[in-house]
Structure 1
């Protein structure tokens, strides 16, 4: 599978690190209360950081130089 362009990779990582924890917090807060919502946000945040780290370091999404060679 081909990697997306560098700009798209950065946007995907930014969305992954912001939208998922915030969404989990808001949804949990609305459905179950303040403390459970906060816990859901923390759990979702941990998984988001793990996934972002995997994409950046194992899949090489942080390297901008590779895109210039492919064009």
Structure 2
């Protein structure tokens, strides 16, 4: 699942591939925005944690699960 996170006062967005479901990501974002957590914490496919202060979130875009491509076919 591709997740894009916009951070206030940062020129680039954070893009990560997460093994978490869309519901799990949405719940983590909602908890951070509701003040239940001070940090938005997500884990990418390689096990790395991404932490963003909740008060700096501009937007979060939750994408569709990506299918893995195999081979050297034309794009």
Decide: shared fold, TM above 0.5. no
Larger Cα-atom Rg: 1
**More helix by proportion, 1 or 2?**
1
TM-score w.r.t. the length of structure 1 is 0.36
